[in-house]
Structure 1
Amino acid sequence: MSSFDKRAQEWDKNDRRVQTAKKVANAVKSCINEKNLKILDFGCGTGLVSYELTNIAHSITGIDTSPKMVEMFNAKSTTPAIKAFCKDIDEIEEKFDLIVSSMTFHHIKDIDAIIEKLRTKIQPGGVICVADLVKEDGSFHNDNSGVHHFGFDIEELTKKFEHKGFKKICQKIVYTIQKHKAFDVFLLCMQKG
């Protein structure tokens, strides 16, 4: 059982996580001036971000590697248009208007490979919004097991997307998480050409 499976039941009780998700979702909505979108939440967890995006969504598909997180996500759903799956991105055959990923990229080893995989799942003109930590010293997590990046240099991440044919439409700091020190969370929205 993964550490995320073990924490799924209590995940939404952490106010800092809830606030981060709300801030990320509000920032996404301020950058994306469209509605009725087919959305993929990559690394959806319990759906904290997804359920804040329902007012701009036609449908939301969540994917996560934690079965317990997916179970918690689906327990909240009141419609078949919002559903999560315990799947890898390679198993998704649909294309989406918007892909959101919040606090997931730092758990992914090969960022170039995941950007390429996400690129194949987004419609032309669609947008990928990534929210994650600004580069930090490795002290954000109490246990760095499964953490492959201590945040990101936003310009370097932007260049990785641009190399795959995306252009930047929005970048901002959306929230500062207060722990033993302050950790900024950025949102980077990149549009597929």
Structure 2
Amino acid sequence: MSDSWDDYADGWDSNSDVIEYSNMAFDSLCKFTSLDGLNVLDFGCGTGLLTEKIAHVASSVVAIDSSPKMIEVLKNKNIHNVNSLSFKISRKSINNNPIFESGFDLIVASSVCAFVPDYEETLSDLKLLLKEGGTFIQWDWKRSNGEDDFGFTNEIITDAYSKVGLSVVRVSEEFSLTSEKGTMKVIMGIAKNA
């Protein structure tokens, strides 16, 4: 695997697994909440497959990703109510960017939290961007029976939410994807900034 997400940008939107994951994440999001009129942050948006779906319903979307090439693909889609930024989130970067001043009703993070260097620190930073009563939703690979340390368990997510002051709404296995490599389960975590 490449060290840079930039290397995947050109073929990302045509990857059938990525498309299916995005579709299932969006379906589960719509089952949980209405997006009408919401200001949404798509954290780790990649090329914006989920961003596009959310933007058709939400009032506005700020889409951020650390990969400049992924963001370039998203910008080329010219979605009228999406502001996209190549951005690494931190307290300092949040405080220095006016696009974050008003906060967000909803923050989504699809298949990204397992890749951040410090999950709890990232959650803490994202919590700063949630309006009071706002919702954080993540989808990530479920850790398999302790065989490796990639992905999440319900306990890891629940504990992290509690540590940063988010109120746990639900953490559950939401869907799975099957490929030639086998079946991988996806866990969905939902929390409120109460």
**Aligned residue identity for 1:89:** I
2:30 is aligned to: 29
TM-score in terms of structure 1 length: 0.87
TM-score between the two structures when normalised by the length of structure 2? 0.87
CA RMSD of aligned residues (A): 1.7
Q: Which residue of 1 aligns with 2:158?
A: 158
Work out the CA distance in 2 between the residues paired with 1:39 and 1:126.
10
What CA distance in whole angstroms lies between the structure 2 residues aligned with 1:162 and 1:170? 12
The residue that corresponds to 1:135 in the other structure is 143
What secondary structure sits across from 1:36 in the alignment?
A: coil
> Is the 2:65–2:71 Cα contact (8 Å) retained in structure 1?
yes
Task: Give how far 1:163 is off.
Answer: 2.4
- Residue identity over aligned pairs, in percent, reads 26
Name the counterpart of 2:60.
Answer: 59
Q: 1:34 Cα shift?
A: 4.6
* Contiguous gaps of at least 5 residues in structure 2: 95-99
Structure 1: unaligned runs, 5 residues or longer: 139-148
What number of residue pairs does the alignment pair up? 182
**Separation in 2 of the partners of 1:34 and 1:60?**
11
Give the counterpart letter for 1:15 in structure 2: S
Residue 46 of structure 1 is matched in structure 2 by 47
For the pair 1:120 / 2:120, whether they are aligned, the reply is no
8 Å contact from structure 1 (residues 31, 169) kept in 2: no
CA contact (8 A) 1:31 1:189 kept: no
1:174 alignment partner, SS class = strand
Equivalent residue number for residue 185 of structure 2: 184
Structure 2 distance, partners of 1:2, 1:45, is 15
Residues 152 and 187, structure 2, Cα contact 8 Å, conserved in 1: no
